[in-house]
Amino acid sequence: MSIKRLARLAPLVLALASPLVGTQGQAPSARDVVDRAEKAIWGTTLQAGLTMTVTTPRWERTLELQVWIDRPRRSFIRILAPAKEAGIASLRIGSEMWNYLPTVERTIKIPPSMMMQPWMGSDFTNDDLVKESSVVEDYTHRITGSDTVAGVPVYVVESVPKPDATVVWGRLVYRVRKADFLPAREEFYDERGTLIRVLTFSDIRVLGGRTIPTKWEMRPVAKPGNATTMVMKSALFDVPIPTDVFTQRNLNKR
């Protein structure tokens, strides 16, 4: 082939090759950003010990919890302390949830309409704690821009519910760190576009063999001075959990 022929073909070759060259450096999709942020803190399975401190302008109380989560199918939570609440447990299998109350020795089934109610008087809901809904699957995501949180560059991702999703939030806004895809902040809006609550993630350190934010703080916008802080003390990720953990029989064990 002549040199002139090659020169004429060069622009075409470059045009065809350019998409392949750019693929490796392509920015992640919005869905991938949210998925990676969720997997970073939950894994496929999670066994964790944590404290939950509920603060209001009038009082404060702290609970010690043990959680087992096999995403997205099932979850189990047991309160270990203080003595007054010790033994209270929550089980979720699919869309069904039960709470066990040791003071009356009763297991109560929680209807779907109660999934967004506060769990143990905190600013986290039943759904937050047992992860009945899937943020990745139940919402459509798009990157709306960039920002910084605590001086760290983040993706800003807006998530709106799919038409057939059984969720109550009208919109979620995530801020996810660009460097490691760890969540930094999450905003929850109602169907009218009003900001209802803000969840922030901090105290990033190695726990359970991975680097994660170990402090999560939820603040309701309409209740200044109220907050619920969860601090993860121990974690075991991606290890199979015995099936008998996720049973109603396990609810009343101490």
Alpha-carbon gap, residue 135 to 11, rounded angstroms: 44
Average pLDDT over residues 70-86: 92
The mean-pLDDT minimum among 8-12, 34-38, 156-160, 227-231 falls in 8-12
pLDDT, residue 66, reads 97
- Dig out the tokens for 23 from the structure: 């693929």
Secondary element (H or E) of residue 214: strand 210-220
pLDDT tops 90 at residue 212:
yes
Please provide the DSSP assignment of 62-86 as one string: EEEEEEEEETTTEEEEEEEESTTTT
Helix (H) or strand (E) holding 159, with range, is: strand 152-161
Q: What is the mean pLDDT of residues 201-213?
A: 96
Task: Tell me the mean pLDDT in the region 65-90.
Answer: 94
pLDDT given at position 25:
59
Check residue 132 and give its pLDDT: 55
pLDDT confidence of 27, banded at 50, 70, 90? confident
The fraction of the chain above a pLDDT of 90, given in percent, is 72
The CA distance from 210 to 232, in Å, is 13
pLDDT at 78 > cutoff 50: yes
The whole-angstrom separation of Cα 139 and Cα 82 is 37
Cα angle 226, 123, 106 (rounded to 5 degrees) comes to 130
The model's pTM? 0.85
pLDDT at 172 over 50: yes
The predicted model gives 207-214 an average pLDDT of 96
Question: What average pLDDT does this structure show over 218-247?
Answer: 96
What local confidence, expressed as pLDDT, does residue 127 receive? 76
Structure confidence by residue, pLDDT tens digits, 121-155: 899 988 776 665 678 989 999 999 999 999 999 99
Would you state the pLDDT for residue 10? 41
Tell me how far apart the alpha carbons of residues 29 and 49 are, in angstroms, rounded to a whole number: 33
Q: Is 123 exposed, middle or buried (0-12, 13-18, 19+ CB in 10 A)?
A: buried
pLDDT tops 90 at residue 20: no
Residues 6+ apart with CB under 8 A from 114: 126
Q: Please give the domain boundaries of the chain with CATH numbers for all domains.
A: 30-252 (2.50.20.10)
With tokens 């082939």, the residue in question is 1
The pairing of strands 139-149 and 106-110 is unpaired
Mean pLDDT of the chain: 88
What does DSSP assign to residue 28? P
Say whether the peptide bond before residue 242 is cis (omega within 30 degrees of 0): no
